[in-house]
Structure 1
Amino acid sequence: MDDRQENARDSVRQLFDAVDAISVQGYDQERRVVYWNIGSERIYGYTAEEALGKRLEDLIIPESMRSGVVSAHESWVNKGLEIPASELILRSKSGEDVSVYSSHVMFRNARNEHEMYCIDVDLGDVKKAQHRAVSKEELLQSVFESIPDLFFLLAEDGSIIDYHAGDSRKLYVQYEDIVGKNMADLLPEEVSAKFKLFIAKAMVDNGFLSFEYYLDLPIGKAYFEARISHLPVQKQLMVIVRDITEAHEAAELIRKQAYFDSLTSIPNRFLSLDRLSQMIKEMDRSGEKAAVVFLDIDDFKKVNDSLGHEVGDKILVEAANRLNSAVRESDTVGRLGGDEFIVLLGSLAECFDAVEIVEKLLGVFREPFSIDGRELILTSSIGVAIFPDNGDNATDLLRNADAAMYQSKEQGRNTYSFFTKQMNEMILRRLAIEEQLYGALERNELEVYYQPKINVKDGKIVGAEALLRWHSPVMGPIAPDEFIPIAEHTGLIVPIGKYVLAHALGFLLEWGQAHRQEYTMAVNLSPRQFRDQDLVDFVKAALRTTNVTSDRLEFEITEGVLMVGQSSVDEVLTDLHALGVKLSMDDFGTGYSSLSYLRQYDFDLLKIDRSFVSGITTNKEDRDLVTATIAMAHSLNLQVVAEGVETAEQLTLLGELGCDVAQGYYFSKPVPAHEMINYQLLKPL
């Protein structure tokens, strides 16, 4: 209790100590007497010494009323159900009846405990009491003014009937008169929604509810606890609002000390490991990969020993800030202790996606650290473990990332290592491929190959699919499965895709003229190409330059393109369809939503994935799926292309099932243009 409250309470007690016509008793939450004025001695016959510490029901309550009084007091303390003022017949020390008019008030003391004060007027001497006593309203006002809480009496619709503000600065809206206004209209939207929710609950439960909220006041941000009690008989609600800013700030300080590093203010070891456990659960549900990165500042001990711990601390703070600037908003940078940091990278499509961020983490140390007028050159060693490849739990991932970090130390520091040798080799090869891919177009290392497509019914060649091949003078032949994802990741797929389209259409013109046939050409489009604003215009220009009609060009599109869900994808597909080119859904059956995409977009062809074609002669499930796919496609007026045909048995069965077009090694592997132009179908149908 602060000085103002103590002074107010003492003043009230001094007032009643001097007035013997009114009995004023104070009781704690166990109904034990804590205050007994001279008026109580006169009316009930007990001295203050005799009364203090005794229970209310043992002093002045008749036997027949005891259980009701105890129950009513407990309901007020626990449920907020106020005891109404009323005329009562109580008992004096001598056992005589005492007729009084009794009023009550309840508040919390400095220990946050309830205290109830009873003001009893002897009805046997009312006239005398009226001349000597202050009014009930004045008494209650004095009591209210000693309490800093905000009190609101509301109608059930939320409108304010009455209120008392011990400190008006804590009212969100400073109106001279807020009586009659709705409580919810005087508060910010989010807080207003909370009040509406808990008022509705209080009326349903007829109980005592509380919740917390904060307000931005002119005196600063303040946190409050609101307690709501429904008074069903009166059809009113009592709302008591208490300022809990100090308690909230103390709790926040404790939380920060428990979960955040005191030096760098980033998550400490405890919080970092908790977030790692949560990340593992999320990635396990989503099927994505994640990376645990251990980072250690090289030779940090030497810095501490030579320049002092104060300089070392400043380096750690700067390092934490730099690391945070290098990661995504969803990632976590934490300090495990000393100069060891942990970085958690979630939602990775593949392990290689971590490389770009890890390189940024390594790079944050390239700029010198400017500390107290000194420029310090520092490096770091990094170890990376991938979930679930290198472990499916926090313990294994931490251990393996730590081991990978020591691999970096052994390699000379200022580098990063992945946990397994195989993964390191894969990353190094991927980086080498990326390096060589830049300039591959200019060095004429890329070449378009073609695989023929055969009409299953008559055995005639109807067209081909354009497939890119790369022979690097430095690394040798590199498979499309390796370099296409890298081209996609780096954005090089855009100029490479234009190169493929231009060469494929040029060859289509030459091939058709050589055989006097209207062949078609299928070209793959990747997700990254759909973000190229020049794509549709480039297609138009390429068709115009080669004098190829648009209906002879097919674009094969995988479900990965459609799953991006961007409006740009819809616009490009619409523009291509309007241009007259054919759209083919590639790898049908390998995704989860292909059927919905067939309904959503204007496809002309459907391409059955090779994984199903390879099993149609030996696996009933594959055969049934291909049978259903062909029937469904034909019902939608789509042509069906089967890829990966390798045997005569597969081709025969596809013919029986009504498949339209086939391609695969049974006819020919992809070949360069000069072989394709002279290609003759040799395999029997």
Structure 2
Amino acid sequence: MNLTRMLTTRLTRFWLWSVLTLLFVGMAFAAAGYWRFVSQQQLLQVQVLQQQLQHQYQDNQLQDADPWLPSMLALTDVVELRLWQGRKLLQQYRGPIVESSRYSMRFTVDAAHNIDVELLLRSPFHHYYPQMGDWVVMLLSLLTLVVVLRLGYHWYSQQLDGMETVAERCRLILQGHYSRARNLSSASRPRFINRALSKLLDELADARKERARFDDFIRTNTFLDHDTHIGNRLLLDNRLNALSNAHGMMAHGVLLLLEFEELEQLNGDGQMVDYLNLNVAHISRLLHSQANSVFARRSYNQLAIVVTQISLAEAEQLAAKVMKLCSSLLPREMGNRNNSCHLGAAYFKLGDNQQQLLEEAEMALRAAQIQGINTWFMYDKGAVDAEFARGSVRWRSFLELALEQRRFVAFTQPVVDVDGNLHHQEVFTRAKEPNGNLVRATLFLPMAVKCGLIAKIERQTIERVVFDLLPKANADAVFSINLSEDSLLNAEFMRWLRTLLLEYRDLAPRLIFEIDEAVASGAPAALAPKLRLIRKMGARLCVDHVGQQVISSQYIVEGGFTLVKLHRSLIKQIHLRTENQLFIRSLLGGLHKTDIEIMAEGVEQLEEWQTLRVLGVSAAQGPWFGDPEPA
């Protein structure tokens, strides 16, 4: 843009100086012609006078020249005539003209006697000096010329200003910033070029939206149930796989299996689907307050619910509410309405086997069906981790004390690119108890959200990175930090973050802020100014856990994210799951020709990483590359 402005400015000045040079040359030629004309006129008059003097001298009448010489001198603009013989002045005649500015001209009358005539002439421009009217005409002409030049310069500058806009739009297109190029004015000159660019950019935007809709269609048909539009069995299996590893489940929670009996009594498939959709709508509203919950259709008459980070008491309350809700929605067409829906629940904790969890949930469902009424049954192994039993008051006291004593420990996990180089390090937080034990974030973060302390915890994490980790790390080291929705919507937290990034602006480009997909896609209007503030400060944005929900990827481009991290449910055994590969191909296709990098989480095997590299994923993290270690 600056180069284009400089070139257009130089071109405009070149045009102006060219016009002025042509004007100057024209005026110089006009002045030279004018001077030549008047000088030639006077020279002709002097030649006539010279011939007359030679003729009079030959007739010896030059001594008596008083009758005719003065008029002849006045006619030829001669101020004085002197007749010399060598250095002797023979005669001198003064004409009627009195002029202070004059020049001399000398010629020979009689070479034999060395007789010369010297003429003192006044300026040849005397008769051609401009009068008052001439000065007025010249002044008006000069003013007209200045106005025309000024208007021409202004018009020429306007025409070239449009070229700057065209150049800027072309630069943005080459850099892949199509939306910014579209937002530039298309009304500037040259208009037909700008209109053509705007039309092409509009068509490109429509094509990309259509591609996003097509990608959404692919993901929808892969992971969603066609009738109820919730997750299908494949999505449920992926999420359960993501919650487990070789050592068992990685979090605690509950699995609910809800089964409806005698659906064939309903009139046709349409009424059955309507009934299922009615239950799905009410249960979805009930699960809205449960973060990271999974709701899927396991079979034609069975629904599955997975809720993590929930205590045993809360799981029992949830099961009772779901059962009560479904019992109230049973249609009258069912003959045995008191024994038409049953719910089995299995509570799991860290280290539990995934397959055993499914078996326990099915056993609980069969136990509820045996009772012969609409009821639910919880499979309780009687071994609930003591960490889950902390009450909310004890959790608040523990977290506040940890904040006061700064007992939150930072762990970092490497993110490695396809070349084996360190791309950045993701920062995790664990809370240290007074006895030295470390409490995992999966345990205390849900309680921190409930207690309203999550913003303070994330503030301490950011301070640890900016004040401790970045100054001690290599100059090119980059760290990523997770931000919750509560922190982003907290005005005090955002003011503090803005002040911090302004004060340490040189470190801001080495920071990446990760935001969960559910947060980034849930309220884009509310988060847009917050995300824009972070980008203006120089930090980068990453959307995390992509793939948990089946939604369009358009929010990634509109939100200004530069990195995308795929959820571990898509990565688990991806070399054996063609549908997950299709999902990633679709996402990569939707983000084609953008600067957004696609990364993967939870890579555990070499085969998974090799498959991801073939698909086009640029970096990954997980146990295969290294577990989180104390920073």
TM-score, length of structure 1 as denominator length:
0.38
Point out the structure with the larger strand share: 1
Larger RCO of the pair (alpha carbons < 8 Å, separation 6+): 2
TM-score, length of structure 2 as denominator length:
0.41
Point out the structure with the larger helix share: 2
Larger radius of gyration: 2
